[in-house]
Chains A and B, each alone.
Chain A
Amino acid sequence: MDSLSFEEVKTKWDIIFKDPLLSLTSLREKGYKGNICSQGLRSICWKLYLAYLPSLDTETWSLTLNKERQHYADLRQKYITSPTADNDNDSNATDLSVNNPLSLDHANPWQEYFKDTELRKIIKQDVERTFPENEYFRSASIQNQLLDILFIYCKMNTDVSYRQGMHELLAPILWVVDKESLSNTSGYAMEDSEDAIIKQSLSADYIEHDTFALFSALMKSAKAYYEYNDEVFNRRPAKRTGQSSDVDYARLIKEAQAEAAKLTPVVMKCNKIHEEYLRTIDIELYNHLKNLEIEPQLYGIRWIRLLFGREFPINQVLILWDGMFAEDPTLRLVDFVCLALMLRIRDELLESDYAGCLSMLMRYPSINDVEVLVPQAIYLRDHLSPEGGNNIIQQNAIRLRKPIIPIQIPAQKESNRVEGLVPDGFVHVTKNSAVMLNKAILSAVGEVKKNVLRRPDGQYEHRKRQSTSDFSQRYAHSYQQSIHDTEPHQNSEDILRLKEQNRQMGIVIQRSINILEQELLGKPKSREDVNAGDADKIEKSSDGTTSRSSFEYIAGNNNEESNIPTSNEISILNVLHGLKHIRDVLNGSVKEFNPHILDLTNNNAEDHDHWEVVDDGVSVVSMAGTEDETASVTKEVQTKQERIAPPVNASKAPNLEPTFTKDSEISQPSPLPSSFSSPLSDETASQSTLLQQSNPLADQIKISNSISEKPSLISTTQSRSSPRGVRPTSISLPKSKFKLNDTMNDLDKRSVSSPKSSIVSNSKYSWMVEGCTEDDDNSLFNPKRSSIIGISGLSSYSSERTNYGYLDGPIEDEDQFEKSTTSNLTQKRSKNTSPSERNRSENIGSISSMNSVKKANNNAAPAIPVEDPLGVL
């Protein structure tokens, strides 16, 4: 082992101690959040964590160190001695009839010696096998050190004595202390005080002493893992000749063993983890293991006793220990690290049978980001609930997709995550993991693409999608099902269907994006109101449920958001942009999936690129999302636009007419016109926009929105429209809709089953679940709903309407493409215009996309994003 030079050590020392905000708490925090132990001096950190060194005041260290080291030296002298050497003062010692190797006298020091020899032999067996792959532990002197330390510990703790596994706890400590030791410590008294302290605290002469002290400190907590509760268990190895007959003794042991096994603390702990914690956070996994009759102690004992030392290579173990020691020197975190580990391989476990599960638990698959386990464990400790478990599962899902990419910004990520652990049980994919999210999307899309371009084989990976939100996962599920349905059909039809499904999926994603944007970029305060309003307007909320989880996710994000700098927002935008690209691909408006778009880096250049892409974006749908972003990020522009908007509206109005007529031709006759007459807004055009937005949301007819908005535009004076009237009840659905509907049916049922409770828990999103009928009027009155943007969006929508006719039904690619390109051109044009203009034209995109969504889904959700910025205003 190459030891460090003094200069290197000094540098590492400074990493720890040059921090102006240094405190024991901050050091502990860095222990599990950062990599202070890897960068700095791990042995020093551990000494502090485990309270071997009582404080950060290095002045006091010298005293403590001397005391502890002297203590060990005394112990060593006391326990490791020859029976012949030391006891001249003892009266027995001089009496050879007592003090001889074969004497049976109890006072015979040789008796003790023989016992010790036995013990050492047992320890040595294990010590020799310590980390067999590590050359360091093969050296005889190191093994002797391990042996002596363990032996002395056992002599001091005769109640536990030595148990297999202790050596595996000791070995890493010795390794760490030895690696960071300074061999030449002579004359440190002469040098300046800091150097002297460094040299003294890392002296190579006291490796064994320090290691023992650390080990003792660790074992204060870990000792319980090695204890046997039953006294008989302890007595058994030390069978005395005076005891009752062997037969009785054996029987006694047998009876006691069964009892003792259950009462052994470590087994009780395993059971507690399994029966209590795992059951709470992940009932599915719990049931699975229960059904397979996999006893938790099978793997748990090893995990706990060795503090996961056998599950990972030593360098990862050290990182894991850093976190555990730092967080809690009493090791209470171990239980939750166990949980985190189980959740990590949850999917594999659920798929495996008895043998598979067992081998996976006994031989834990290698993972390359052990540093996240401790924060996860802390999170689980603080959130011991199904939601907490779910969050961790989702985090893992995101992470697993890219095992190669560790954490690029570890410090930031870690800290953010901890902040982001929102206590209210929202599904939580934190903002800091925006990078992750994007990567997740990237790979997920890759998956989608594969499945779409080739013939799907049914092995669609649910989890891939679930990582971003439950919603997507569910959709993926339905997607898979529908794929199954289509398989027997002819090829061309298949392709057609696939395209159709893709499009639906794109729509769904669009919806999610809208929600995301609203939540991420909108202002939290107004959001409540807006959402409440939405709730009223949304019909039956069938779709709301499906996207609810993604909502929660965002909500979780939102809580964080208030404190987050703009750089984070940028990353969010990047993520959103990635999503949009996916949506475009699915919609067919972009032919090729471009992974680079998802390849996210947090710099500005990328951000710029992001806007570029948006502007050039092929699909109009993508514009919608962009607009929202723009709207929320640059609020000033919006306000400005508000002023400008009315004229825009007016100018756009003419365009509406042709669009409408065209649509009406296509569409079936519907009761909508009647509704138009009734809904008349009171004062401003902005409210008409509101109506326009809300109505389409509610409508089940694909075209209803276009119709409904016409009157609103035409009659700029409009007041509280009764959404009921606007909303036709019986509508012929587009063919494509059925599948989506089917897939969402079960979701609806779910939501219906317990809407109230969810509302109670989260009133913001109640509209997603609730039928939304009662408060319609109020919502319409809500001033926040009215906005200029809505108007301009509306008008622009009408102008762009022609381009979206194709969305009404399954149509061939080329056609779509041409049209989308046209719309794109419009967008490009807008790029060069003033900001307000640009926003306006982007509004066009958003609205139209919204319409398209609605047509496919007959659900209201997508309109939200437009409204939110309005609410902000």
Chain B
Amino acid sequence: MVLVLVIGDLHVPYRVHDLPLKFKKLLVPGKIQQIICTGNVCDKETFDYLRTIAADVHVVRGDYDEFPSWPLSKIITHGPLRIGVLHGHQVIPVGDAESLSIIARQMDADILLTGHTHRFEAIEYEGKFFVNPGSATGAYSGFCTEDIKPSFVLMDIQGSVVVTYVYRLVDGDVKVDKIEYRKNYDTSKVL
């Protein structure tokens, strides 16, 4: 059983000064084994903060990141699962399921993690699982007209089963939702 924190679009310090306090309380060391960051962390201090939560941090470069050395995309495997990570600004139209599906096929990923839209999304499409953790700080985004709520995702990966916990800060309270995804082997075979 592996707990993977998926987090991104923090935009610290340019749009938000810090993570919400309630999130910080939850994100304590010792529980999470791995962090996958979808980019736009922006400054080094925030990145270091992430590393205090778990030592194993995988991060891709967003359009506002200060680290040119970071890769634009990454593939992480957990047992039978291939997890593709991309910030998402490369995808046009932004956040479009079809486009993401193409990228997932290109990366041969079972799960595709993207950010950039600042809006939580977790959909199963063509047998693949697409997760967008939203913005952990609730930072402003030009693509999103509605009220942006801070959110992140925690994936509990057990074999080919992924239980996704979504943490959202709604009116000062943390709301938790659970979505389960099971990789379908038949589907991947067809593909």
Chain A residues close to B by CB (< 8 Å): 82, 84, 96-97, 100-104, 110, 114, 118
Give per-residue flags for B152-182: 1 if the beta carbon is below 8 A from chain A beta carbons, else 0: 0010101000010101000000111110000
- The answer to whether A104 and B163 touch across the interface, beta carbons within 8 angstroms, is no
State in angstroms the CA–CA spacing of A104 and B174 once bound together. 12
Query: Are A104 and B25 interface neighbours, CB within 8 A?
Result: yes
In the complex, chain B residues whose CB is within 8 Å of the CB of A97 = 174-176
Shortest beta-carbon distance from A555 to chain B in Å: 70
B: contact size bracket: 20 to 34
Contact between chains at A101 and B178 (CB < 8 Å): no
- Closest-by-CB residue of B relative to A111 is B31
List the A residue with the shortest CB-CB distance to B33: A117
Chain A, Cβ-Cβ closest to B173: A97
B30 at the A interface (CB under 8 A): yes
| In the complex, B26 has a CB within 8 A of chain A | yes
Q: Which residue of A lies closest to B155 (CB)?
A: A101
Question: Which 3 A/B pairs are nearest by Cβ-Cβ distance?
Answer: A102-B26, A96-B176, A100-B176
Contact A101–B30 (Cβ < 8 Å): no
Contact of B154 among A82, A84, A101, A118 (CB under 8 A): A101
**Closest chain A CB from B136 CB (angstroms):** 13
Out of A96, A101, A114, A118, which one reaches B156, CB within 8 Å?
A101
Instruction: Note all chain A residues with C-beta closer than 8 A to B21.
Output: none
Knowing that A97-B174, A102-B165 are A-B contacts, what are 11 other residue pairs whose CB atoms are under 8 Å apart, sorted by A's residue number?
A: A84-B163, A96-B165, A96-B176, A97-B175, A100-B154, A100-B165, A100-B176, A101-B31, A101-B165, A104-B26, A118-B30
Taking the nearest CB of chain A, how far is it from the CB of B68, in angstroms? 33
* A596→B159 CA distance, assembly (Å): 72
Question: Given that A82-B1, A84-B163 are known contacts, is A102 also in contact with B27, CB under 8 Å in the complex?
Answer: yes
Count A-B contacts at CB 8 Å.
37
Distance (Å) between the CB of B176 and the closest chain A CB?
4
The B24-41 residues at the A interface (CB cut-off 8 A) are 25-28, 30-32
- The smallest beta-carbon distance between B189 and chain A, in angstroms, is 28
Residues of A contacting B167 in the complex (Cβ-Cβ under 8 angstroms): 100, 102
Chosen A-B contacts, 22 in total, with CB atoms closer than 8 Å, are A84-B156, A84-B163, A96-B165, A96-B176, A96-B177, A96-B178, A97-B174, A97-B175, A97-B176, A100-B154, A100-B165, A100-B178, A101-B154, A101-B165, A102-B27, A102-B31, A102-B154, A102-B167, A103-B26, A103-B176, A110-B31, A114-B30
Residues of A within 8 A of B28 (CB): 102
Specify which chain A residues have a CB less than 8 angstroms from the CB of B165 in the assembled complex: 96, 100-102
The interface residues of chain A lying within 8 Å CB-to-CB of B25 are 104
Contacts of A102 in B (CB 8 A): 26-28, 31, 154, 165, 167
- Judged by a CB distance under 8 angstroms, whether B103 is at the interface is no
Q: Does B3 contact A (CB under 8 A)?
A: yes
Q: CA of A377 to CA of B25 in the docked complex: distance in angstroms?
A: 59
Whole-angstrom CA separation of A510 from B183 in the bound complex: 92
* Docked pose: A100 CA to B154 CA in angstroms: 9
- Say yes or no: A82 contacts B158, CB within 8 Å: yes
Q: How far is the CA of A118 from the CA of B1 in the complex (A)?
A: 13
Distance (whole angstroms) from the CB of A85 to the closest CB of chain B: 9
B31 touches A114 (CB 8 A): yes
Q: Which residues of A contact B158 (CB under 8 A)?
A: 82
Question: Given the complex, which residues of B lie within 8 Å of A118, measured CB to CB?
Answer: 30
**CB-defined contacts of A101 to chain B, threshold 8 Å:** 3, 31-32, 154, 156, 165
Query: Cα distance A110–B28 when bound, in Å?
Result: 13
Cα–Cα distance between A97 and B158 once the two chains are bound (Å):
21
Closest B residue to A85 using CB positions: B158
Please give me the residue from chain B that is nearest to A96 by CB atom.
Answer: B176
Which residues from B are CB-within-8-Å of A103? 26, 176
